[in-house]
Amino acid sequence: MAPKESEPRTELDTRYGEPQATATSWQEAVALLTSAELFWLTTVRPEGRPHVTPLLAVWSDGALYFCTGPEERKSRNLARNPEVILTTGTNVLAGGCDLVVEGTAVRVTDEARLMALARAWEAKYGAEWHFDVRDGGFAGDRGNVAEVHEVAPRTAFGFGKAPYSQTRWRF
């Protein structure tokens, strides 16, 4: 079951910003998480080295959701260590806000939740990203089934770039 939307404790870290900077609101961060097309997922390899890969994600009911094939490196990493970081933002220096979400990836297998998430994926990314729900995951057009994971934020950071600022949200 997805977590309820909650208002985190918001802190502006003045050590890492310009004097006129203000904290980014959590509502603004959620809007950015909702509209972002590409995310970067960081997992931990068995020997402790980081593994980073780009992927698609959907924000829904207070959490980010992503999917991966069960044989992919990120899935094998998650089986050993579910702690992850998801990042997104703009690839420019003087504008926008970059976001970092830290949390624990939890596999989603509930059929009703998966069906709602499959609809959200298609609504966000288009018909090319249509999934059927089968065997506790997303079934693609090639018959493979991807695992779906939920990451409820434990801590998140926003890095504003006009003016420069650093906001931390604690849940």
Q: Where are the domains of the chain?
A: 9-170
Element (H, E) at 153: strand 145-161
Instruction: Specify whether the CB–CB gap between 145 and 137 falls below 8 A.
Output: yes
Determine the pLDDT at residue 28. 97
2 has pLDDT over 60: no
Q: Which two tokens stand for residue 100?
A: 């970092």
pLDDT tens string 83-137: 999 999 998 999 999 999 999 999 999 999 999 999 999 999 999 999 999 999 9
Stated pTM of the model: 0.94
What are residue 99's DSSP bridge partners? 88, 158
Q: What pLDDT does residue 1 have?
A: 45
- The CATH class that applies to domain 9-170 reads mainly beta
Sign of the alpha-carbon dihedral angle for 117, 123, 129, 134? positive
Residue 4 has pLDDT above 80, yes or no: no
Task: Please check the confidence at residue 5 and state whether its pLDDT lies above 70.
Answer: no
**pLDDT confidence of 47, banded at 50, 70, 90?**
very high
